[in-house]
């Protein structure tokens, strides 16, 4: 028999709850202001102006120019476009790409596809905290290297990469630097100018915005092929009728995220959560480090406890969590991220991801820890 005393949502890395202000900003463009912004009449032009405002709002979060922001259907498309667009536009220069072993499936699946097309891929290792080695990166660069793609922060263990150092090396060698910032955008400070980032992917639904919309930042002067062909939208670089409500919503969410960057209490709640788990639940451990970690991420393992069984029990008690990336749900193989930081298959299969939001309270954490402790005890055969 199960009981759901209360609902505590701890899967914000998978998707976030849309803010009311975001929804309110979108509704007019689903009803009265339904016009296609590519049309030439005045109402359509007014809608186009709203899109440009959203472009400005998003650009401010990463200190980019508005004209460097290109709208996409989400993070996966942005990642695909960045890798394929740079790879094929530099085909004559070389076919070597550098990435890391802990990238999101949108990157790893794309690099596997590119390998089938004749490209050579180097996957950098990470340490136990999930951070790449800068010296290994520099040693991996070859005369035919045409792209470095390293994620800003990992979606499973929250590890934040040394973006400024990576960007400096890439710029020194005149190699474009792309970062998958889907988990990091709006959650940590990113300055594409200071960090010398040439391309950056982000998604609306990770920052309390709508699903089905994302962006690819492309530094002015970067040459790349288009991924989606058809119309002349986005300066002819990305075809398709604009998702106006989604774009407006992401712009609003980006503005709200920029305000939160300086006033967030997530890190305090995260540290409290980690402390409670490690102190209250026997044989529990934190996966990844604490110093360079997203403010909303906790990834913990519980010895002798099957993660999938634990997640089912937690769900029955109102705790929404996951074993890792939503994009790998259903995969029975151990997490490639946890394997890369040195965990055994058994340890990886004992691990769950808990990601908080700006609305998560200490009372939520206390309830979650209480339920996790009870479920872990039951699974270990104790009462």
Count other C-beta atoms under 10 Å from residue 215's C-beta.
Answer: 31
CB atoms within 10 A of CB 330: 4
Whether residue 327 lies in the annotated active site = yes
**Rounded to whole angstroms, how far apart are CA atoms 51 and 31?**
16
For the chain, the first-to-last Cα distance in angstroms comes to 15
Name beta bridge partners: 256: none
How many CB atoms neighbour CB 185 within 10 A? 28
Distance of alpha carbon 350 from alpha carbon 302, whole angstroms = 6
The CA-atom distances, in angstroms, between 144 and each of 90, 106, 223 are: 10, 23, 16
Among candidate residues 234, 312, 197, the one with its CA nearest the CA of residue 73: 234
Output the six-digit token pair for 138: 């520099």
Q: CA dist 28 to 142, 233, 338, Å?
A: 51, 22, 44
**CA 130, CA 75: separation in Å to the nearest integer?**
21
CB atoms within 10 A of CB 140: 16
- Strands in the chain per DSSP E: 8-9, 69-72, 96-100, 120-124, 145-149, 177-180, 199-203, 214-218, 284-286, 297-302, 319-320, 351-355
Distance from C-alpha of 103 to C-alpha of 351, rounded to nearest angstrom? 18
Name the strands in the sheet holding 351-355, side by side, starting at the edge strand that comes first in the sequence. 284-286, 297-302, 351-355
Cα–Cα dist 117/306, whole Å: 39
Residue 130 in tokens: 């999930």
Active-site residue among 327, 347, 357, 379? 327
49 membership: H or E segment, kind and range: helix 42-62
Kind of pairing between the strands at 8-9 and 69-72: unpaired
Quote the longest CA-to-CA distance of the chain.
Answer: 70
Active centre residues (catalytic): 327
């Amino acid at each position: 028999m199960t009981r759901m005393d209360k609902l505590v949502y701890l899967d914000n890395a998978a998707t976030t709850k849309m803010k009311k202000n975001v929804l309110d900003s979108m509704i007019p463009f689903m009803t009265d202001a339904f016009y296609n912004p590519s049309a030439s009449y005045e109402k359509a032009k007014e809608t186009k102006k709203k899109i440009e405002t959203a472009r400005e709002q998003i650009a401010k979060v990463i200190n980019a120019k508005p004209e460097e922001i290109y709208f996409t259907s989400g993070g996966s498309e942005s990642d695909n476009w960045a890798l394929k667009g740079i790879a094929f536009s530099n085909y004559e220069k070389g076919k070597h790409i550098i990435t890391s072993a802990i990238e999101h499936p949108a990157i790893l699946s794309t690099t596997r596809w590119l390998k089938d097309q004749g490209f050579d891929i180097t996957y950098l290792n990470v340490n136990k905290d999930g951070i790449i080695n800068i010296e290994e990166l520099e040693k991996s660069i070859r005369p035919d290297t045409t792209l470095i793609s390293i994620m800003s922060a990992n979606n499973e263990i929250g590890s934040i990469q040394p973006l400024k150092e990576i960007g400096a090396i890439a710029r020194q060698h005149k190699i474009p630097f792309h970062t998958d910032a889907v988990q990091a955008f709006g959650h940590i400070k990113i300055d594409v100018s200071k960090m010398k980032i040439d391309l950056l992917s982000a998604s609306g639904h990770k920052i309390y915005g709508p699903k089905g919309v994302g962006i690819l930042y492309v530094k002015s002067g970067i040459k790349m092929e288009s991924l989606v062909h058809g119309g002349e939208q986005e300066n002819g670089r990305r075809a398709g009728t604009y998702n106006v409500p989604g774009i407006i919503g992401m712009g609003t969410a980006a503005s709200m995220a920029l305000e939160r960057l300086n006033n967030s209490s997530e890190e305090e709640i995260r540290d409290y959560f980690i402390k409670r788990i490690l102190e209250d639940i026997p044989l529990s451990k934190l996966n990844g480090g604490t110093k360079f970690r997203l403010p909303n991420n906790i990834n913990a393992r519980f010895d002798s406890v099957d993660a999938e069984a634990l997640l089912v029990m937690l769900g029955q008690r109102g705790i929404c969590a996951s074993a890792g990336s939503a994009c790998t749900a259903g995969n029975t193989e151990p997490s490639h991220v946890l394997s890369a930081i040195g965990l055994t298959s058994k340890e990886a299969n004992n691990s769950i991801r808990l990601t908080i939001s700006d609305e998560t309270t200490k009372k939520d954490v206390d309830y979650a820890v209480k339920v996790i402790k009870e479920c872990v005890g039951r699974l270990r055969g104790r009462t």
